[in-house]
Chains A and B, each alone.
Chain A
Amino acid sequence: GDSVTQMEGPVTLSEEAFLTINCTYTATGYPSLFWYVQYPGEGLQLLLKATKADDKGSNKGFEATYRKETTSFHLEKGSVQVSDSAVYFCALVSGSARQLTFGSGTQLTVLP
């Protein structure tokens, strides 16, 4: 079945540091890939997405590139802010399953 493996947290960075959160996947067919963000006590918000190989999703300074050859979708941001502190989830949906498969989430804390 489909699966998503995320870099384990927690991750603690200083403000303006570079962020990478690794995500790799296993899926049949051609999945769409997503990053969601969850702030404390809230639901999940879609951060960015990519629907085919070599697509780059971007939003709010975050980027991730769909790499089919390495089955990866790593999240990056050049300069994090305190307000980026949250839990980040990598996820995929494939045409056959039509359901989201989530990674376990990575807690990010940014210190001033």
Chain B
Amino acid sequence: DGGITQSPKYLFRKEGQNVTLSCEQNLNHDAMYWYRQDPGQGLRLIYYSQIVNDFQKGDIAEGYSVSREKKESFPLTVTSAQKNPTAFYLCASSEGDRGRNQPQHFGDGTRLSIL
């Protein structure tokens, strides 16, 4: 089945450490997105990418970095500069420009906690 796979499901970070969250999709979607969700709150956009080798900052990009070397992969690195990284991270994809106003499809999320 086509879908979005996020790994790991749970991740722990030590102080001063960078960690990378994986997101892979086999939907042949052009666009991919990373969101952060805090308890009892909505989703906030961290980064997004409309095509390979290009990405844009979202509303809360500080302390995060991404790469888009392959169409199917969009890893997110939470750097030590992100002082409050504990949250639930969601990856999504959509058809992008080829499918204007199409919905985004989401992975099952990664829960990041600080040790």
Which B29-60 residues sit within 8 Å CB-CB of chain A? 31, 33, 40-43, 45, 48, 50, 58
Q: A36 vs B109: C-alpha distance in the bound complex, in angstroms?
A: 15
Closest to B104 in A: A100
Which B49-80 residues sit within 8 Å CB-CB of chain A? 50, 58
Chain B interface residue number, banded: 20 to 34
Find out whether the CB atom of B101 lies under 8 angstroms from the CB atom of A32: yes
Q: A44 vs B106: C-alpha distance in the bound complex, in angstroms?
A: 6
Chain A interface residue number, banded: 20 to 34
With a cutoff of 8 Å between Cβ atoms, the chain B residues found around residue A93 in the complex are 101-104
Which residues on B are within 8 Å of A, measured CB to CB? 4, 6, 31, 33, 40-43, 45, 48, 50, 58, 90, 92, 96-97, 100-109, 111
Which residues on A are within 8 Å of B, measured CB to CB? 31-32, 34, 36, 41-46, 49, 51, 89, 93-95, 98-100, 102-105, 107
